[in-house]
Amino acid sequence: MRGQTGVEFMILFGVFLLAIIIMVFSIWNYVFDINVSTNDLHANKFLDSISSRVDTVFLEGDGFLTNYTMPDTILGRNYSVSIERGFVFLNFSGRVYVKRLITKNVTGNLEKGENTIKNVNGVVAIL
């Protein structure tokens, strides 16, 4: 009788342990999806702010300039930004995000910290 109780306890314990492991994996996947969505949200918001600033400088015409400050990190993580052929590329958290600009005439590149964006004869120059 004692041996049977021990076996029944071990089987019951194994079933509960399996249920807990399944719950942990499903919660882990849910948390991972939330983190990916948060990264996407912040990356797209950041790209929108950059593209709107560059597009505004282009649309305002020759001589218009504005300052744009880029943060050191996004959500505590490092990132890089490049502007090529009318697109803004953001490399963040192992993914590349892209946003189209109105103009392809952009010279220079955005750096972390203070940047000056100026329209020089229809060309957007990042200083």
Q: DSSP of 15-82, one letter per residue?
A: HHHHHHHHHHHHHHHHHHHHHHHHHHHHHHHHHHHHHHHHHHHHHH-TT-EEEEEE-S-BTTB-EEEE
Domain count, the chain: 1
Rounded to a whole number of angstroms, the distance between the first and last alpha carbons of the chain is 84
pLDDT score, position 1: 60
| Boundaries of domain holding 60 | 2-126
Tokens 């702010």 locate to: 49
Helix (H) or strand (E) holding 84: strand 79-84
pLDDT score, position 7: 87
pLDDT for 85-95, tens place per residue? Answer: 999 999 999 99
